[in-house]
């Protein structure tokens, strides 16, 4: 049996092993080349999970749209289905991501085994029982819609809002497809209804992921962890597992003695991992802070290794693994020399590995972060040219610049803050201090499985909003977080006149030194607590978007 996005049986294509797709021959079909680019990004974002990566096949036949052939590692796409995607104009990539990610989830979840089993053993009673359970296919389609949508999101696509229109267009392009329900397949109307309901849940998971990332940015780590774990119950990805490890390491950094962490570490926050505090090897029972921080750092090591297992090419997790080992080296410095040296050796090994890989792939941001960590290790161990390492990436890493100042003893005192403006920061003219009215309107939803009665909300429909959205994390009047984020196309400016596209230098000139700076694989965040604003910079150091927030406790 083939399991298709559209419940239609199937056939075959031109495989990735075909000479026409050989790397030493030019791609002859631009449509296939385009689809493969989207497909490869989705496969990379998913990670291999120890399964053989699937291959994309192509056919000019027009009978099944796109489908996963159960029992193989092949996903087939028909040219007619590609043409339907092309009809979405500038959203063609999102449409392709929708259909391909859906089939990828069928593959990774190995959907469809029941029908195959039933067909092969229909003469046996057990086979008949399985065939009677084909209604489960609806559940599998819902799962593929939801997890496929989140996979597309982690790969950089936006499939929310695509499904209903796409399904209608696809069925119109395949006039022989039955639109009425049968004993094995739902009707088109029912399939569209399933897609609409699933999209609501998908949108919620995506916005929760962004809420968790913002909570990390403002230092509410435990709250962020509850959201990451909630999402992981629905979908496991390398980004989520990586971020749980980052939270563990950030928690650990709070358990070091004041001023013992001199340098900045390039931990990269990307987007059934549970943070469990256990014992760690070689801990000093007389130092509870060390017990806790070592335990947290080992949790971080565990999570980064799992993220690498999910995708061995996922270099941010490997860099974060190096950071965790470097922090373990620092934790044991002056306590257990052998343990400290061993951890620094691991940290150095992974940092060099990442730097070499980043150089090969011409990823300047990742290379700069890895070299910066190598400088930190050199400074802490006294082995290597820390100043030279920091200097070599000054033009690519603000973190290296700050670490070089620390190394030279040029640590600045508390930065002077600009006088607080009478008019507080706003986006789309919305007054953030009105959050109580939003929270009390009954539109928040409970987040199941959390330690407290946590509620969450996502708003884009307020009359004030043109290109922005509001994310709410609410426990009670003494514990909440409220984030107002610009969306693509926002043309407004901050209270100090900063707009999308502004440089880091321009932001610092207006807002001075940030309270916190967090690394991302494709940029970094500048956090200003006094102003309640977060600037999101891309890998070139240009402002991509910004967030205004209110939190309690501060």
> If we measure between CA atoms, which residue out of 333, 297, 304 comes closest to residue 321?
304
Distance CA 258, CA 363 (A): 34
CATH 1.10.390 residue window(s) in the chain: 2-205
pLDDT score recorded for residue 248: 93
Among 36-45, 124-133, 295-304, 441-450, the least confident range: 124-133
Contact 238, 49 (CB under 8 A): no
- The residue-averaged pLDDT of 316-328 equals 96
Burial (Cβ within 10 Å: 0-12, 13-18, ≥19) of residue 275: buried
- The residue-averaged pLDDT of 25-38 equals 82
Distance CA 201, CA 144 (A): 13
Contact 468, 546 (CB under 8 A): no
Flag whether pLDDT at 10 surpasses 70: no
- Phi and psi angles of residue 191, each rounded to the nearest 5 degrees, phi first: -65, -40
pTM over 0.85: no
User: At 33, which helix (H) or strand (E)?
Assistant: helix 30-46
Among 241-255, 359-373, 460-474, the least confident range: 460-474
Q: Where are the alpha helices (DSSP H) in 254-314?
A: 288-310
Distance CA 190, CA 510 (A): 54
- Phi and psi angles of residue 292, each rounded to the nearest 5 degrees, phi first: -70, -45
Classify domain 2-205 at the CATH topology level. Answer: Neutral Protease; domain 2 (1.10.390)
Read off the pLDDT of residues 359-381 as tens digits, 9 standing for 90 and up.
999 999 999 999 999 999 999 99
């Amino acid at each position: 049996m083939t399991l298709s996005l559209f419940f239609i049986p199937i056939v075959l294509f031109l495989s990735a092993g075909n000479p026409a797709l050989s790397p030493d021959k030019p791609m002859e079909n631009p449509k296939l080349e385009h689809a493969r680019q989207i497909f490869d990004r989705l496969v990379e974002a998913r990670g291999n999970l120890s399964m053989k990566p699937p291959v994309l096949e192509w056919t000019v036949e027009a009978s099944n749209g796109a489908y996963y052939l159960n029992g193989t590692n092949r996903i087939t796409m028909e040219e007619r289905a590609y043409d339907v995607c092309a009809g979405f104009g500038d959203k063609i990539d999102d449409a392709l991501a929708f259909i391909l990610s859906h089939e990828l989830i069928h593959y990774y979840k190995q959907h469809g085994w029941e029908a195959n089993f039933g067909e092969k053993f229909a003469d046996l009673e057990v086979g008949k029982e399985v065939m009677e359970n084909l209604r489960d296919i609806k559940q599998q389609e819902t799962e593929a819609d939801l997890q496929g949508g989140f996979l597309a999101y982690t790969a950089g696509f936006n499939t929310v809002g695509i499904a209903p229109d796409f399904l209608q267009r696809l069925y119109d392009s395949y006039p022989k497809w039955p639109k009425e329900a049968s004993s094995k397949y739902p009707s088109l109307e029912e399939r569209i209804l399933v897609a609409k309901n699933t999209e609501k849940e998908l949108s919620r998971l995506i916005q929760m992921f962004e809420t968790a990332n913002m909570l990390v940015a403002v230092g509410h780590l435990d709250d962020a962890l509850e959201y990451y774990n909630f999402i992981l119950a629905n979908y496991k990805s390398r980004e989520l597992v990586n971020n749980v490890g980052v939270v563990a390491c950030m928690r650990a950094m709070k358990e070091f003695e004041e001023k013992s962490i001199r340098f900045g570490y390039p931990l990269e926050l990307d987007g059934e991992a549970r943070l469990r505090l256990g014992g760690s090897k070689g801990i000093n029972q007389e130092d509870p802070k060390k017990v806790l921080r070592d335990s947290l750092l080992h949790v971080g090591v565990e999570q980064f290794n799992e993220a690498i297992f999910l995708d061995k090419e996922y270099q941010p997790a490997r860099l974060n693994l190096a950071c965790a080992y470097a922090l373990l080296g620092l934790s044991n410095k002056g306590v257990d020399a052998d343990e400290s040296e061993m951890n620094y050796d691991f940290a150095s090994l992974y940092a060099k590995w990442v730097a070499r890989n980043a150089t090969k792939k011409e990823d300047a941001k990742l290379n700069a972060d890895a070299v910066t960590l190598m400088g930190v290790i050199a400074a802490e161990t006294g082995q290597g040219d820390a100043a030279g390492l920091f200097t070599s990436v000054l033009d690519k890493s603000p973190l290296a610049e700050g670490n070089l100042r620390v190394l030279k003893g040029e640590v600045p005192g508390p930065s002077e803050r600009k006088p607080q403006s009478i008019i507080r920061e706003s986006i789309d003219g919305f007054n953030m201090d009105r959050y109580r009215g939003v929270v009390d309107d009954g539109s928040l939803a409970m987040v199941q499985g959390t330690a407290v009665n946590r509620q969450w909300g996502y708003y884009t429909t307020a009359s004030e909003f043109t290109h922005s959205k509001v994310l709410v994390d609410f426990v009670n009047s003494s514990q909440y977080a409220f984030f107002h984020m610009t969306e693509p196309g926002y043309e407004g400016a901050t209270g100090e006149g900063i707009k999308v596209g502004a440089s880091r230098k321009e932001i610092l000139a207006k807002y001075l030194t940030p309270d916190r700076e967090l690394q991302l694989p494709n940029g970094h965040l500048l956090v200003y607590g006094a102003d309640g604003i977060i600037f999101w910079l891309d890998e070139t150091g240009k402002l991509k978007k910004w967030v205004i927030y209110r939190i309690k406790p501060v």
